[in-house]
Amino acid sequence: MSADIRQFDDAKYINLETFKKNGTPVSTPVWFVTENGYIFVVTRSGTGKIRRVRNNPKVRIVTSGFRGEPKGTWKDGVAKIVDSGNSDRIIRLRDKKYGFQAKLASLFTAGKGKYVVLSIKIA
């Protein structure tokens, strides 16, 4: 595992920066898991970050606090939507890491569509 991804091992949140069509960055603090050199973010299909990643796969990430305040060094990356066949495993990893909080959050976000998993490879 590269040193770039190790900085995320013990973090609870990352700040995920995606970009609008006009290039304006949008930062969102999110939960995540790491596996095999990738960072995975579970979100819902109706969220803005999914629309923005479909238009522009370039992202930036940094470890952060609950409100998104950076706690490390920003890293450039490339995001892609994971096929549904591999999503269930990543969702289980997320649920294991965040426990009851993940189950509670899923109740509040159910109206935003189905689960979608983003994989992020640090550039």
Q: pLDDT of 50-66, one tens digit each?
A: 999 999 999 999 999 98
pLDDT digits over 67-113, tens only? 999 998 999 999 999 987 789 899 889 989 888 777 666 655 655 66
The two three-digit tokens of residue 22, written as one number: 């006009």
Identity of the residue numbered 69:
E
pLDDT recorded at residue 108: 59
Confidence of residue 9 (pLDDT cuts 50, 70, 90): confident
The helix or strand, by DSSP H or E, that contains position 104, with its residue range, turns out to be helix 100-109
Identify which of 58, 62, 56, 59 has the alpha carbon closest to the alpha carbon of residue 4: 62
pTM attached to this predicted model: 0.89
Say how many domains are in the chain.
1
Tell me, what CATH number does 14's domain have? 2.30.110.10
The domain in which residue 105 lies consists of 3-122
- Dmax (CA) of the chain: 38
* Cβ atoms of residues 41 and 117 within 8 Å: yes
- Per-residue confidence (pLDDT) for residue 2, from 0 to 100: 57
**pLDDT at position 103, please?**
67
